[in-house]
Amino acid sequence: MPKYQNVLDSPNTNTIFMIWNFKENTDYKTVFKKLCSLVINLNHSANTRFPETQSSVVLGISYEAWLKLDLPKPLPRELKPFVSIKGKKHEAVSTKADIHFHIRSNNQSYCVDIVSNLTDLLKDVATCQEEIHGFRYWDGRSILGFVDGTENPQDKERITFGLIGKEDSNYQNGSYLFVQKYLHDMQAWKNLPISEQEKIIGRTKVNDIEMDDDEKPSNSHSALANVGDDKKIVRDNMPFGNISTNEMGTYFIAYARKFSIVKEMLERMFIGEPVGNYDRILDFSKAKTGTLFFVPSFDLLDQLSD
């Protein structure tokens, strides 16, 4: 069975997310083969040198990049360009990207060195569009002050919901990766009483207890972002930003067996359920990016490096 990349790991203390786009008229195909080998090597090295730091780097490839690189066909079944989802008031935008890196470690030095390694290899054939430094905020909270990812699957369920199974045997133990960069209106959020914040999230702020169904608003985040116990995703969200410039946000990152589950969640949030009953958190959090990637297994990365 193919060995999967570290998509099932829990969010770490330090994280760097990177998005790159290939430059035209460069030898990016040759460099990509070297990149596949490098990612395998970096993960093996981390396991050997720093096993206690839970360090890893995960590589994701977009639909557009898959075609540019002439990677195997047929493609993973649900790997397609992400089409923006537009409600009456808010939009889950679609943004262009070729490859994505998810770098994490208990040791910040590892993340910095990995970024340097990747940049040294890619700088002549690709442009870095995003480099976002995430951090753990207290007990796994978003910068809005609420615990993030409470409904994440645990233990063996992470395999069930995070990895592609035998239904797409060519890409077994790969994963669909969807990312969005959200910026928060922190001042507007802070102006709300805690009781109002809790209604928007659908959970208590201090103790992270979900409201009963009869008191939870139908437009709360927990009501709309949850599409069912049989349709979960593995979230690795991290807060990021600069307080002095009021540019604080959440990097939403989801690994899933099926992207259709993520899409259903986004439709409920942005269009509403029913239509118009959108996720109230969007009045305070604006999606600035949105891209779908595919994360190959290590075995497939090894094949792509040849």
The residues annotated as belonging to the active site are 148
Q: What is the β-pairing status of strands 91-92 and 238-242?
A: unpaired
What DSSP letter does each residue of 78-138 carry, written as one string?
T--PPPPEE-SS-EE-----SEEEEEEESSHHHHHHHHHHHHHHHTTTEEEEEEEEEE-BT
Per-residue DSSP letter, 274: T
Are residues 94 and 78 in contact, defined by beta-carbon separation less than 8 angstroms? no
- Going from the C-alpha of 58 to that of each of 26, 81, 104, 233, 238, the distances in angstroms are 24, 20, 9, 17, 15
The tokens describing 192, both together, are 């709300």
226 φ/ψ angles, rounded to the nearest 5 degrees: -95, 110
Calculate the dihedral angle through the C-alpha atoms of 82, 149, 231, 61, rounding to the nearest 10 degrees. 30
Query: Tokens 């395999």 label which residue?
Result: 159
Query: Tokens 């439709």 label which residue?
Result: 267
